[in-house]
Amino acid sequence: MNASAGARSADRAAPRGARRRIQPGRRTTGTGWAAAAVLGSAACWGLSTVASRGLLDVVPATTLLVLQLCASTTALALASLREAPWDALRRAGRGAALASTTAGALEPGLSYVVGLTGLAMTTAGSATTIDASEPVLTVVLVWLVLRQRPERRLLAAVVLGTAGLVLVTGGASLREGGAGSASGDLLVLCAAALAAGSAIASARAVTVLPTATQASVQQLAGLVVAAVALLLVQGPGALARVPDLGWPVLALAAATGLVQYALATWLYLVGLRRLGPSRAGLFLSTVPVFGIAGGWLWLGQAPSPALLVGAAAVVGSLVIANPPRRPAS
């Protein structure tokens, strides 16, 4: 058997969805589709956040997170069956399984728990403004951990996108007046750093694991962390009180979990496979923009001029980071 035939044989033997190992961040012919996938992920997160905010009026934050992750983990586990997940994890090795588990434990696990704790101690405006630092933290961690030095174009895009995020989220701080708590702000910053770390861990496994398998492992790890936090904060009786919420609330929590976590995570990993964590993180800076659009369409919350300028800056940063390709001559 020659080398090419052997390669084809090994490729057929690999788990479905894990056959091609693509270096994260490498520009390929599928970059456009990858960018669309991450933008779709941002839309899922941003638009479903509007519905989640309404649920928080009747459901405690940690309880809601557990309910949403239960729905998303179940859906992704079922979707991964066609990928033979146990076989895929065995072939990928312990390193890939550990990276995926770590990514899920960091986000949506620890990042959300720490972020919600910090949000309770500071203002929402301060929290969202600090959270805008995630793209910068992601680029820094990629540089330090993966040894991938960012391009000047990407650095410029991150600066512009972060400035736009500050404009988008900073308006809340001005409306609220008052200052946030220093300890609460620090916890929110830690949450942003944990989310950036999750992106790095995901990038280590995304080239060798099928997408639904990796997403289900991450969501399961996040669910375990969230469930432990729920039991520690509210006690064992928290789970017994869940049926008292009523089926309409539980159904809406499950629906938002499917969109905000299952679909959003799957789309993000599809894009991460080709864009890499730095570029994918920049696309996720559009999450507040989609959130503003959802608030405008469904809640009648018209955006201010500062929000529109900030949204334009975020979109401009994506254009800078992803210039149109020149056709080959």
Judged by average pLDDT, the poorest of 45-54, 96-105, 273-282, 294-303 is 294-303
- Do 157 and 318 meet the contact criterion of CB atoms below 8 Å apart? yes
In a domain, 16, yes or no: no
Single out the residue of 325, 328, 295, 303 nearest to residue 51, CA to CA.
Answer: 295
The reply to whether 4 falls in a domain is: no
Confidence grade of residue 30 (pLDDT, cut at 50, 70, 90): low
Q: Based on the structure, what is the number of domains in the chain?
A: 1
Q: What angle do CA 56, 61, 63 make, to 5 degrees?
A: 110
Summarize the confidence of residues 211-227 as an average pLDDT. Answer: 94
- Identity (one letter) of the amino acid at 35? A
Least confident of 22-31, 75-84, 100-109: 22-31
Contact criterion met (CB below 8 Å) for 282 and 135: yes
Residue 14 lies in a domain: no
Domain assignment present for residue 96? The answer is yes
Q: Name which residue leads in pLDDT, 187 or 131.
A: 187
Residue 15 lies in a domain: no
Give the best-scoring range by mean pLDDT among 27-31, 93-97, 324-328: 93-97
317 domain-assigned: yes
CB atoms within 10 A of CB 224: 16
1 inside domain:
no
Measured CA angle at 165 (ends 164, 171), to 5 deg: 100
- The answer on pLDDT for 205 being more than 50 is yes
Three-class secondary structure of residue 264 per DSSP: helix
Q: Determine the pLDDT at residue 274.
A: 84
DSSP 104-152: HIIIIIIHHHHHHHHHHHS-HHHHHHHHTTHHHHHHHHHHHHS--PPPH
Using only C-alpha atoms, the chain has a radius of gyration, in whole angstroms, of 20
- The three-state secondary structure class of 303 is coil
pTM across the whole model: 0.73
Q: How far apart are CA 13 and CA 325, in angstroms?
A: 35
Structural domain harbouring 80: 29-321
Residue 235 lies in a domain: yes
If we measure between CA atoms, which residue out of 303, 324, 293 comes closest to residue 42? 293
Task: Provide the percentage of residues in the chain whose pLDDT is more than 70.
Answer: 71
**Cβ partners under 8 Å of residue 109, min gap 6:** 221, 222, 223, 224, 225, 226
